[in-house]
Every structure is written in C-alpha cells, then in structure tokens.
Structure 1
Amino acid sequence: MSRIKEFNLPDLGEGLTEGEILGWLVKVGDTIELNQPIVEVETAKAAVEIPAKWAGQVHAIFHSEGTTVEVGTPIIAIDTDPGAGPVESSTTGAPAGDLPTPSAASLAAVEVAPAEGAVEPGLIGGPAPGGRTAVLVGYGPRTTTAKRRPRKGAVPAQATAAVTPAPAPVTPAPVTPAAAPAAPVAPAPAVNGNGRLAGAVLAKPPVRKLAKDLGVDLSTLTGSGPSGSITREDVQRAATPAAEPLTVTASAPAAASFGADREQRIPVKGVRKLTAENMSRSAFTAPHVTEFLTVDVTRAMKALDRLRGRREWRDVRVSPLLLVAKAVLLAVKRHPMVNSTWAGDEIVVKEYVNLGIAAATERGLIVPNVKDAGRLTLRELADALTDLVQTAKAGKTSPADMSGGTLTITNVGVFGVDTGTPILPPGESAILAFGAVREMPWVHKGKVKPRLVTTLGLSFDHRIIDGELGSKFLRDIGDFLADPEAALLAWT
C-alpha cells in the first residue's frame, strides 16, 4: 500500500461543484493528526475548515490560497509513514509556503492517482470518471475509474499482444551510393505545451462548449489545470483580445483616461454568486407584493429597557430585533398560511418556523436561520439570535444553518434605512424589512409629541398570500410592537 496519499477536495454538500481555498492551516513538512483541520475553503454556501483524512506529514500542497478548485481535484498529498525514510520525490523537504509539483517517481507512489497519469475525472481525453457518492466533509469522492464492458466477439488486448508475431528482421539490399535515394524522414508528432500529442486536449465538456461559443481553438492553448487540462479561465483569457496601446499625438490636449487601468473587476463567486442566482430566480418566479406600516414603538423600547434591567437578563444581548422576531412568530400562529411554500400544484404549509435573519458579512449577504424558532422561549430566542449573528460575523456559518428557512427578517434599520422592498428567499412566501427606530413627531392621545417610530415593509408571494392575509399579518406585527406586553397577555 502506498504511503503517499492524495486528498481530493470533497463534496461539501448540496451539489456544490467547486470551492475557493481561503487559507492553508498547514505547510509542507508539517506533521498532522487525523481529523486535524488542514485548509479553509469557501463555497457558495459558507466557509468551512476541512479535516485531514489521514495522519502523517504534509508531502505536497497543489493549490495556492485564492485558487478556485473543482470538487474531486487533489489539493494536498500526505505521507502516512514519514518514519520509513525519504520518498523519491523532488517535493520532499520543500520550504514552507512552496507549492511544489510532484515528480514522476512520486506520482507513481501515490495510491489514489490513476495509472493514466492522474488525469482529473470528467475530462474529455482523460480516463472515464469514477462514480460519485455521498461523502462527509474531509472525505473525498471515490477515485476509482469506470471500466467499459468488452464488446461481444472482441479479443482482449492481452490476447492480441500474445498472438501477434514479432516482425521478422528485414535485410536491405545493397545499393550503390549514387543510386540510393534520399530516405524520407518521418515528421515528429506535434506536441503541445503540456507535453501531450496535439490532438490529445484535456478539457471538460462545459469548457469545450465555452470554447466553441467563443471561437477558441483548444489545441492552441496551454492548460493550467490538473495534468495540463484546459480550464474556463484559460479559454476566457484566450478569448479576451489584448488591449491595444493608445497613441496620443504631442499636439493633442490632455484628456481623461477611461481605460482598464481605472476599472476594478471583481470575480463573481462564492456567496455573491449564489445570492445573485437565488435573487434572480426568486424575483422572476414569485409575483412580489410589498406593503408598509409605520408604527409607534415607544412602549416596545421601554419594555426592552425594563427587560435589560432584570437580573437574569443582564448578560443577554437585548435588541429591538428580538421583539420583532417574537412578533413575527406570534403572528404566524394567527396566520399559518404565511409560513408556506409554493410547490406547483400544491401549497405546503409548515407547522414549524425556521426563522431566517439576513446578515451582512465580509463574504456577502447570508441568511442563516434559527431552527424551530416558534418553540423557543423569549430568553432562548435571544440567545439563538446572538449566536446566529456572532457566528455569521466570524464567517463560521455552516451550510446547514443556511438551509431550510421558512420565513425571513432583514434588519435594514442597522444601516439607518427606514424600510425597503426585500426580495423573497427562494422557497419562502414572506420576508419582513425592519427599519430604523427614530424619534419623530407623532399624534399621541390627541397631541403631537416626540415618539419612537419605525416602518415595516412586508414582501410576500401573491400566489399564496393575498392582500387581505398580508395586511392582517403585517397589522398583527405592528400591534405587538406598539404594545408588546398587552399582546403577550392577549395572544399567549
């Protein structure tokens, strides 16, 4: 059994096909333990730390930080028996931070590398891909290659080789130098930049289609992917024409430059890419309606002050969002149809509420949710919201925490915004925008007085929620925030 084992980027869940390496937690030469975190990877769902599948010593790291790697691609090689002596490889003992390329000798000693040359599964021109299976984080998909069934009547290659007689040596007839024609020289086979025959281009089907659409000849490219395979970036780079130098005459007046040197190009990937796809799909699938309600929340803010003053709540983060979340959960009990999903020929009404809270992070907007929030007490809800926000800001929200949401709150008030018209997360029928709480002139008991006021904005799927239901739901939330103590006594 080989001591050098390559670890492939695993399927991190829900059909994700790629991930970006945010940072390596180990370097070449480090000794690692089983299940020790070795790399932090960002997917379209979240940033996660991947543990080591084997204990041993880091033999090689194949991709640098900031690289986007497809699922199933080797990212690191681990020597599982470093005490057995040196390994025949140019990568042994590489300095920290280097990303060496394993030698042919080391590739031959790697257990998971296919014999065909470690060509990435799924490439046209490479070996047949292995079957895809459900995997855990840290345990890559199966790397065995598929085998083609022999056709009926076909002679196995081994048998053919056995029965083919060796060619008899041919003795050339003697000729005089004057009569001997110049022997034709067979042309050497064309080899591309990857050291392969010109016709053997390694590229996945989507890459080949992209090249065809952009009019790029794959045989002219040098691949930057595994084993010299052509990637999407290679094709896009070849399709982008080089910028022509600008020629400015001496007599021409100086003009402002609007070239590429004054533009910033940000790759759309990770959370931003997933958010764009989800919002586009939701905006053009569910017919949105948005209603607004302005509420005097002076009593609610005083109730929060009294809650903070209680001894058992002194170490708890208490914010207006807590009361808004409680108001939404109680209003759902009165109008359960709001907590539902449109499923084509039926509406799925859910008896549980996975309450999503939109959170702005450095990686983009994410919406983790509190599971079964309707069953939590007010104190439990406060703790859950605090953990959710802190985890999101730390960038540690897991994909599971962002899946299965049924109803969402977006707190735009923290940015000083009064309200908005939020877009529904896919699969949900309602989302509430909670605006800033401001001191404003308000008619209270027949007199104009300064009061604390906020504006709520409710967007809902008009296929499920009509104007009456949406208005009643929003009105109940407003009534709770206007006098939460009275609402708690009357509704619970």
Structure 2
Amino acid sequence: MTNSAQTGQAAAGVREFKMPDVGEGLTEAEILKWYVQPGDTVTDGQVVCEVETAKAAVELPIPFNGLVHELRFDEGTTVDVGTPIITVDTGGPATGTGGGDASAAQPAMETGPAAAAEVAGEAEAAQAGGEEAEPEGRQPVLVGYGVGASSTKRRPRKPAAGAADTAAPAPAAERVTAPAPAPAPASNGSGAAAPAVPGGPRPLAKPPVRKLAKDLGVDLSTVTPTGPDGIVTRDDVHAAAAPARTSASATPAPSSVAAATEPVAEAAPEPAAPGARETRIPVKGVRKATAQAMVGSAFTAPHVTEFVTVDVTRTMKLIGQLKEDPDLAGVRVNPLLLVARAFLLAIRRNPDVNASWDEEHQEIVRKHYVNLGIAAATPRGLIVPNIKDAQDKTLPELASALGELVGTAREGKTSPAAMSGGTVTITNVGVFGVDTGTPILNPGESAILAFGRIREQPWVHKGKVKPRHVTTLALSFDHRLVDGELGSRVLADTAAVLERPKRLMTWS
C-alpha cells in the first residue's frame, strides 16, 4: 500500500530516498517501523524509519530537509537495496531520482547506526562498475559519510602504490598478515587483486554480484577480484563458492546452537487461528542469515567436538570475591566472564587455534588478535557480536565489554560492525539449564566453546566424595585447521584454569 499526502503526479521538488546498503553487500532490508507520516516535516539527519537487515536492526536518517510526500512501503515489507522508500517535497526543482542538486544535499548528522553505507542504489552500481555517476544522481548519505558539494562524479578506486608488494605471497611457508588492512585492492602476484581485508575498504561489486554472493553464502571480503579496477565478478563469486567456502554475507554473523549470554525475552508469537493445524512463519532477516550461515558452515568445515567435565568450585568462590572488588564496581561479574578469560588464556598458550582457512591459496591464516564472539539469542534470532581485541583487555575491561554487548543485544541495537571479524566464539547454553551441546562453527572461525550449566553434584575431591560445583565444556573446531592434539590442549587448558583460577596469574 502507498501512503501519500497528495494524489496524482508528484510535484516539482519531490525527491526520493532510496533504501541504502547499511552493511557490507546487503541486498535487502525489512521496514520495521516508520517514524514519520505523509505531511510531516523532516530535517537533514532525522531518523525516518527503522529497518532490519540480515545483520541487525538499524535506523535510517534522511539526508535532506522537506515535507514527507509519500511512504512507498508498509511496515513489514522487505525492500531491495536501491529502491525508493520515501519521497520528500524539498521545495526545489524536481529530479525524479532523489539525487537533486549536488550542492543541496548535505551529509547526514551522526545520529544513525554506526555501520552505515556510503551510498545507495545506482551510486553503488556506478562505483562498482567503474562508471561515473551522473551529476544529479547523488544518493542519500548516512552516518558520518558525506560527499562534498563539488563531488558530482564518482570515479573507480585504484590500487594504492606499493600495495602489490604488501599483498604478494611471502616466500616463507607461513604468511604473516599486516596489522592494518590495505586501503585498496592489490595484486596477489598472479595478476588478480588480493581479497579485501575484513574491516577494510568495502569490496567493489555490482548489486547483482552482491546478491549472488549472499545467496551462495560467500563473504565478498574473502574473494579475490579479477575484474577491472579490482571489481568482484560473478565468476569470482562462483569460484569462491565452488570449494564451499561460505560465510554469512560479510558478516560474521549468527552462529551455533540457540544459546546466549543470558536469556533475552522473545517476542510473543502471533496466536494461531482457531482450528489451525499449522502455522507458517516467513524466514527473513537475522533468522534467514543464520540458516544460510549454519548450513554453509556445517557442510564446509569438518567439525570435531570434544568434551570435558570440570570442577569449578574455586571459580565460583572467586566470582563471589570479585563481586566485592571495588575495581569491578558497576560491572556484572558472572561465570561467563571467567570462562571467557580462561578461553583467552588457553588461546594465548596455543595460538595456532586462532586461525582461518584460505581455500583459494590453500593456506592457514593465523590471527594475531582475538575477536571474541558471544552468541546471543534475541527476539529477532541468534546473533554473534564480538569483542574486538579481547586478548588485550584487563578483567574489568572484559567485564564491561561483556555487559555492553549483552545490553546492546537486548535492545536490538547491535551494529553490523560489531558482528563482523570474529575469530572464535563462546556460546553459553548453561543459562537454559543445558549441560552441553555440539555447537556449529561461526563461518570463517576456527573454534567455538559451549559452556554448560553449573550444578552441584557428588565429586571426588582430595580422596573424598563431596558436593562440588561442576560444569561441562564442549569445544567444536575446524579439523582442517586444528588437529586433535591442538584442540585437546585448548580445551584442557581452559578447564584447568577454571578448576584452579589462580592460573590466571601464574600462566599469564
């Protein structure tokens, strides 16, 4: 249905705001809520609607002033990126494209989501195709991104000088990744550009190619482009998908079993019609991405899961003491915090586990940082935001990061950037009263640790049977990257720290 403040042909000065790509390579989003109605006045940077992508729910600010003329879609409608969703009467000359006079459109105020797109629709296609955008084709701009008033054309990005040397294969058996991503596509030594580094510049690809990558579960940031000026082509995507090297549309997104940092209230399901024997629920947004990612991961990486049951009585006593520590005032101290700390220490002692598999080059890429994912169940589905550079955080910093992660997930405000670039994950099935599980790897990661419930049970301690606090840990890992010995050492070290938490000091 179309809502409009007036009927007939749009008058002069009516500009269109198109659905932007608010993540990396997303092709569609669902309109969750409109914050404006036809006839309302909007200003540059004002949030006009909330949309849900395969990564997160985000708010969209509009990049110009005017009077709302028409809402093109109802709430609950899924819209392709680049499709006009709202028209605004700006009182200026009509453009028909939403671009208008380049000097009239100003960058949006920084009031929207942290991970916003540069442009939407045709501007993206023009950039990916190496074509110049038409002077009047300037597209809506989101958070912190802005095109200067004189920037009426967009030119293709070119490889930075010296980048080829940076990305060329090292002669040594082991390749060391640079700590910072290259600013532009670079040669990999074979005539093709090297894959983009996650978190770096957005890979160049036309919208149809992005959609193909999404459908096949291919992470564009891992694809080696062969097109002109470093553009990813359809053949590149198919080549990356051939060895079933999948990822959840540049996300690093949903993972594993239905677990969470702690329970998050689910949205109440719609009641079934009287006498109904079935209810069909459309799969979209986060849940759709989860399904695609899990299928890809399960049939790509050879999973191995190992288990250990451990006495965590001393850890539970330490948690009680930490809750009284003034240095941790204001942050939540719980068993997950100590499990995360123990897991990070085990990774430090066994760094080979923190890696990813490069199918194209048949290489193991060892990571010298740990982006620790925490699986969180939300009303929109399972998401896995991660704590960046968790290995460098002190215990109070890690506690604060975990608390912020949980709070943001509960509010449904987790940004796409927060769910990108994870290296290992923890899934806390214990909060549901579950002893353990066999979690599926988050695509592109090497390991995931399932943390089961802590319960009192009879345990042999110092030669006597006593009631002790016990939990079970399960570690799933990619057997291409991690052999049984390495996986066993990581799991055993994690358990050893939880059994005797003083090792947090003696092993660090």
1:263 counterpart residue number: 278
Q: Residues of 2 paired with 1:260 and 1:337: CA distance? A: 56
Stretches of structure 1 that go unaligned for 5 or more consecutive residues are 85-107, 115-127, 145-203, 206-257
Residues 301, 478 of structure 2: 8 Å contact kept = yes
Deviations 1:400-456 (A, max 9, x none): 000100000000000000000000011111000000000111001111000000000
Distance 1:446 1:416 in 2: 29
In the alignment, what sits opposite 2:302?
287
Amino acid paired to 1:309: E
- C-alpha deviation, 1:137, in angstroms: 3.6
SS of the residue aligned with 2:488?
Answer: helix
Q: CA 1:262/1:133 → structure 2, altered by over 3 Å: closer, same or farther?
A: farther
**1:368-419 C-alpha deviation (Å, 9 max, x unpaired):** 0000000010000000000001101110001000010000000000000000
CA contact (8 A) 2:33 2:50 kept: yes
Q: How does 1:85-124 map to 2 (within 5 A)?
A: 109-112=94-97
Q: Is the 8 A contact 1:9 1:140 kept in 2?
A: no
Q: Does the Cα contact within 8 Å between 1:7 and 1:140 map onto a contact in 2? A: no
Using a 3 Å threshold, how does the CA distance of structure 1 residues 111 and 2 change in structure 2: closer, same or farther?
farther
Runs of 4 or more above 6 Å deviation: 138-144
Following superposition, the deviation at residue 113 of structure 1 comes to: 6.6
3-state SS, counterpart of residue 464 of structure 1: coil
Q: How much does 1:132 deviate?
A: 3.9
Deviates more, 1:50-59 or 1:281-290: 50-59
Q: Quote the Cα distance in structure 2 between the aligned partners of 1:386 and 1:326.
A: 14
Question: Who is 2:83 aligned against?
Answer: 73
Structure 1 position 62 matched with structure 2 position 69: no
Mapped contact 1:72–1:140 kept (Cα < 8 A): no
Q: 1:140 to 1:74 in 2, by over 3 A?
A: farther
- Structure 1 equivalent of residue 47 of structure 2: 37
1:457 aligns with 2:457: no
Partner of 2:418: 401
- Between the aligned partners of 1:27 and 1:288, the Cα distance in structure 2 is 50
Q: 2:387 aligns with which of 352, 370, 379?
A: 370
Deviation for aligned residue 1:80? 1.6
Aligned to 2:109: none
Q: Are 1:11 and 1:137, in contact at CA under 8 Å, matched by a contact in 2?
A: no
| Distance verdict in 2 for CA 1:449–1:143, change over 3 Å | farther
Label 1:406 to 1:346 Cα distance change in 2 as closer, same or farther (>3 A).
Answer: same
Listed as ranges, the matches of 1:53-202 within 5 Å are: 53-81=63-91, 109-112=94-97, 131-133=125-127, 137=142
Counterpart in the other structure of 1:412: 429
How far residue 15 of structure 1 moved from its aligned partner, in angstroms, is 1.1
SS in 2 for 1:353: coil
State TM-score, norm by structure 2.
0.64
Cα separation, 1, equivalents of 2:49 and 2:78: 13
Instruction: Assess if the C-alpha contact under 8 Å between 1:436 and 1:455 holds in 2.
Output: yes
Change (3 A) 1:68 1:132: farther
Give the secondary-structure state (helix, strand or coil) at the position aligned to 1:454: strand
Task: Determine if contact 1:40/1:47 at 8 Å carries over to the other structure.
Answer: yes
Match for 1:35: what amino acid? Answer: G
Query: Is residue 52–residue 285 contact of structure 2 (8 Å, CA) maintained in 1?
Result: yes
Match of residue 392 from structure 1: 409
Q: Is the 8 A contact 1:290 1:460 kept in 2?
A: yes
Q: Could you tell me how far 1:489 is from its partner in structure 2? A: 2.4
Cα distance, 1:488 vs structure 2: 1.9
CA contact (8 A) 1:11 1:140 kept: no
Does the residue aligned with 1:484 lie in a helix, a strand or coil? Answer: coil
Q: CA deviation at 1:133?
A: 3.5
Residue identity opposite 1:322 in structure 2? L
Q: Displacement, 1:72? A: 0.8
Question: Quick one: which amino acid aligns to residue 407 of structure 1?
Answer: V
Provide closer, same or farther for how the CA distance between residues 5 and 456 of structure 1 changes in structure 2, counting only shifts above 3 A.
Answer: same
Amino acid paired to 1:469: L
Residue 11 of structure 1 and its aligned partner are, at CA, apart by 1.4
Shift of 1:129: 6.9
Establish whether residue 447 from structure 1 lines up as the match of residue 476 from structure 2. Answer: no
Rounded to whole Å, the distance in 2 between the matches of 1:76 and 1:348 is 44
Whether 2:20 is the aligned partner of 1:4: answer no
Q: Contact conserved, 2:18 with 2:98, CA < 8 A, in 1? A: no
CA deviations over 1:246-283 (Å, ceiling 9, x no partner): xxxxxxxxxxxx99942111111101111111110110
Provide the C-alpha distance between the structure 2 equivalents of 1:140 and 1:265, rounded to a whole number of angstroms: 43
Tell me: CA distance 1:399–1:113, structure 2 relative to 1, closer, same or farther (3 Å). Answer: closer
Give the drift of 1:312. 2.8
Contact 2:315 2:498 in 1 (8 A): yes
Q: Does structure 1 retain, via aligned residues, the 8 Å contact 2:364–2:481?
A: yes
Q: For residues 319 and 143 of structure 1, what CA distance do their matches in structure 2 show?
A: 54
Structure 2 CA distance for aligned equivalents of residues 439 and 367 of structure 1: 30
Instruction: Return the offset for 1:57.
Output: 1.6
Segments of structure 2 that go 5 or more residues without pairing to the other structure are 1-10, 100-120, 129-138, 154-207, 210-272
Once the two structures are TM-superposed, the CA of residue 316 in structure 1 deviates from its matched residue by 1.4
Give the number of equivalent residue pairs: 344
With the length of structure 1 as denominator, give the TM-score of the two structures: 0.66
CA contact (8 A) 1:38 1:49 kept: yes
* In 2: Cα distance, 1:132 partner to 1:275 partner: 30
* Seq. identity, %: 62
Could you list the per-position Cα deviations for residues 33-74 of structure 1 after superposition, in whole angstroms to 9, with x for gaps in the alignment?
A: 111111100000110000011112211111010000111111
RMSD of aligned C-alpha atoms? 2.9
